Amino acid sequence: MSKLKIAIQKSGRLNQDSLQILKDCGISIDNGKDQLKASASNFPLEVFYLRNGDIPQYLRDGVVDCAIIGENVLVEKGQDLNFTQRLGFSKCKVSVAVTKSTEYTNLKDLEGKRIATSYPNTVQQFLDKNNVDAKLHIINGSVEIAPNIGLADAIVDIVSSGSTLFKNGLKEVEVLLKSEAVLAVSPLISDENQALLNKIEFRMQSVLKGKNSKYVLLNAPNDRLEEIITLLPGMKSPTVLPLAEKGWSSVHTVIDKNQFWEIIDELKDKGAEGILVCPIEKMVL
């Protein structure tokens, strides 16, 4: 029986988040310490633990069928590869940073300057697009130290919280791109394995939809019921059940987690009471 081969980062946060979403999809990985390859016990899947920067070539060659990888890596090393799903974790930016003492107004301030980076392709494309001529120094790791030792005037690197920049006396001045984990696919994937990937994608979508939604229950006076329902965007329409107390109904619905606080005051103004908000583990559409 064919097995779907998926690559994930060998170590680091992306590794942990990737394994977690597979677990949330009901896939159990027999993950021994320091293994480079592991199999799922309840799904035809093999996991390959690879260096992040090597994954695009493995996809290109068909060694793996798919991968959970940072979008920033695809932009740098795999622009010929496609991804089918944004996964909502490992979010970061690829940004330009300079020393805190540097006066910076706009991109033209980088003209003729030295930029240290681990993302030369991404940076060069950005500079070309904005008609800026600068000299790139390619550094693998510890890019932040370059301005402080006189190697470069600026850096381009991944920024998450910004704490690393702060510790090294740097400030973020431009954002080249925003990135998150994505599900990338090999152009050589077989039809059989594409069918397996479709099943995993469906599960991932259910997990992500659940994480981004909340289940809301509230009590509504019947004479304001229609007004309250119009405030509740749901999957299709809310469930309305009569309460034991005459003249009241219980309303159940699902809303985007980011919308709730926008409408809570309106719900209360319309007479809604006993509002209960619950997390959703998975949502199958």
DSSP of the chain: ---EEEEEESSSHHHHHHHHHHHHTTPPB---TT-SEEEBSSSSEEEEEE-GGGHHHHHHHTSSSEEEEEHHHHHHH-TTSEEEEE-S-S-EEEEEEEETTS---SGGGGTT-EEEES-HHHHHHHHHHTT---EEEE-SS-GGGTGGGTS-SEEEEEESSSHHHHHTTEEEEEEEEEE-EEEEE-TT--HHHHHHHHHHHHHHHHHHHHHTEEEEEEEEEGGGHHHHHHT---SSS-EEEE-SSTTEEEEEEEEETTTHHHHHHHHHHTT-EEEEEEE-S----
Residue 260: the pLDDT is: 78
Instruction: Specify the range with the lowest mean pLDDT, choosing from 50-54, 90-94, 107-111, 258-262.
Output: 258-262
Distance CA(197)–CA(22), nearest Å, equals 12
Residue 211: the pLDDT is: 86
Domains and CATH numbers, the chain: 4-90+180-210 (3.40.190.10), 92-179 (3.40.190.10), 213-279 (3.30.70.120)
Distance CA(14)–CA(181), nearest Å, equals 8
Whether the per-residue pLDDT at 111 is higher than 80: the answer is: yes
pLDDT in tens, 205-222: 999 988 888 888 999 999
Mean pLDDT taken over the chain: 90
pLDDT in tens, 147-200: 888 889 999 998 887 788 888 899 999 999 999 999 999 999 999 999 999 999
Split at pLDDT 50, 70, 90, the class of 44 is very high
Whether the per-residue pLDDT at 235 is higher than 70: the answer is: no
Whether the per-residue pLDDT at 133 is higher than 90: the answer is: yes
Between residues 187 and 284, the one the model is more confident about? 187
Q: Is 162 left (phi over 0), alpha (psi -120 to 50) or beta?
A: left
Split at pLDDT 50, 70, 90, the class of 100 is very high
Above pLDDT 70, what percent of the chain? Answer: 97
User: pTM value?
Assistant: 0.83
Write out the two tokens for 244: 């034991």
Q: To the nearest 10°, report the CA torsion of 80, 81, 85, 91.
A: -70
Average pLDDT over residues 68-90: 94
